[in-house]
């Protein structure tokens, strides 16, 4: 029998020699960034921001975490399980008022850093389906996003307001899985709340002829805005996806970069300084074209809940002040 232990010990000692000695410099701060599901815009943004901050910010390591999406990110940041996240303005607004489903009724430890992009609702079906209007979904199978996602929360609000939530067969699955299920005939439609173009929809359109259904229909707008004033009407241009054929009338929420209130202002200020620099913004567009919506001048778009003090200082230095509409 051959004894390998001496070689193993020597190998370990050799590897240890390759590790640089610890210096007397500042310790590295490790933070967690809660993103989104595979195929969703949240995950592109969170991974991009985490990667850039880890590479360029001294003594800062940011880990990207997969997530169901907006609602889960708010809960993670609120409890300290994550330090950064991305969430929809509507979900943050409702959480701050104690109206988000299953949320503890206590002070919210979530603050806003900046606006990232607008996220339009996509109601997608195959071109061969009999679903042409929202009301045609009755009795059909629809994927609305994973449990804990902002998409699923928005779907429940919208379809409840339309009197349809209990009249459809709801599937709580993420975008990539939903696109595969729609292509394979396991579901009839998918609901997406994400920036344009969405990768899952683009990939589906490359395989199958698709149809997007208008969700902003005449006669329904007033009721939706009365209950949820954080939504805005928007148009998805016909050229966004292959074979779309016409502009789509829908509505959107604002995707915001959020942070725990306990994160030091210095770190928040430094993170914004890096990501919203000309180099940082150029980098983000390479990560995801949706990041073209990011800018200094539009950084407080859709922000109706309190900014983090570090973010407030950063934006005030650039001439931006939050409107006094925070709850």
Tokens of 81: 């399980």
Predicted local confidence at residue 4, as pLDDT:
42
Predicted local distance difference test score (pLDDT) of residue 43: 93
pLDDT value at residue 97: 87
Q: Are 89 and 230 in contact (CB under 8 A)?
A: yes
Helix (H, G, I), strand (E, B) or coil at 152: helix
Which residues of the chain are modeled with pLDDT < 70?
A: 1-26, 39, 101-106, 323-327
Domains of the chain: 29-117+254-316 (3.40.190.10), 119-253 (3.40.190.10)
Give residue-wise pLDDT tens across range 133-161. Answer: 999 999 999 999 999 889 999 999 999 98
Give the pLDDT score at 229.
80
Report the pLDDT value the prediction gives residue 26, as an integer from 0 to 100.
65
Mean pLDDT of the chain: 88
**C-alpha triplet 204, 206, 211: angle, nearest 5°:** 60
Residues 6 or more apart whose CB falls under 8 angstroms from that of 87 comprise 70, 71, 73, 74, 77, 110, 150, 255, 256, 258
| pLDDT score recorded for residue 7 | 38
Q: At a CB cut-off of 8 Å and minimum separation 6, what does 195 contact?
A: 41, 117, 118, 119, 120, 255, 288, 290, 293
Please report the beta strands in 46-147, taking only residues with DSSP state E, as ranges in sequence order.
60-65, 84-88, 110-126, 141-143
Q: What angle do CA 319, 296, 287 make, to 5 degrees?
A: 160
- pLDDT digits 0-9 by tens, 222-262: 778 778 888 889 999 999 999 999 999 999 999 999 999 99
Distance CA 68, CA 38 (A): 9
């Amino acid at each position: 029998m051959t004894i390998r232990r001496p070689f193993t010990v020597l190998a370990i000692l050799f590897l240890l020699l390759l590790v640089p000695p610890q210096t007397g410099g500042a310790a590295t701060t490790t933070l967690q960034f809660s993103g989104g599901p595979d195929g969703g815009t949240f995950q592109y943004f969170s991974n991009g921001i985490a990667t850039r901050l880890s590479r360029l910010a001294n003594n800062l390591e940011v880990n990207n975490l997969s997530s169901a999406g907006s609602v889960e990110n708010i809960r993670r940041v609120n409890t300290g399980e994550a330090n950064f996240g991305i969430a929809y303005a509507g979900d943050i607004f409702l959480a701050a008022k104690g109206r988000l489903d299953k949320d503890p009724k206590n002070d919210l430890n979530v603050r806003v850093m900046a606006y990232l992009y607008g996220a339009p609702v996509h109601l997608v079906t195959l071109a061969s389906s009999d679903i042409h209007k929202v009301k045609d979904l009755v009795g059909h199978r629809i994927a609305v996003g994973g449990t804990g996602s902002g998409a699923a929360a928005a779907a429940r609000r919208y379809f409840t307001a339309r009197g349809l939530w209990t009249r459809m067969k709801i599937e709580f699955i993420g975008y990539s899985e939903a696109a595969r299920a729609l292509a394979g005939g396991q579901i009839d439609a998918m609901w997406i709340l994400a920036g344009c173009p969405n990768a899952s929809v683009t990939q589906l359109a490359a395989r199958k002829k698709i149809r997007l259904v208008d969700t902003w229909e005449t006669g329904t707008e007033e009721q939706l805005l009365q209950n949820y004033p954080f939504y805005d009407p928007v148009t998805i241009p016909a050229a966004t996806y292959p074979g779309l054929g016409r502009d789509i009338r829908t509505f959107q929420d604002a995707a915001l970069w959020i942070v725990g209130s306990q994160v030091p202002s210095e770190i928040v200020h430094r993170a914004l300084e890096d990501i919203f620099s000309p180099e940082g913004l150029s980098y983000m567009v390479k990560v995801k074209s949706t990041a073209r919506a990011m800018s200094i001048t539009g950084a407080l778009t859709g922000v109706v809940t309190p900014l983090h003090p570090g973010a407030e200082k950063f934006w005030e230095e650039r001439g931006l002040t939050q409107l006094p509409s925070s709850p």
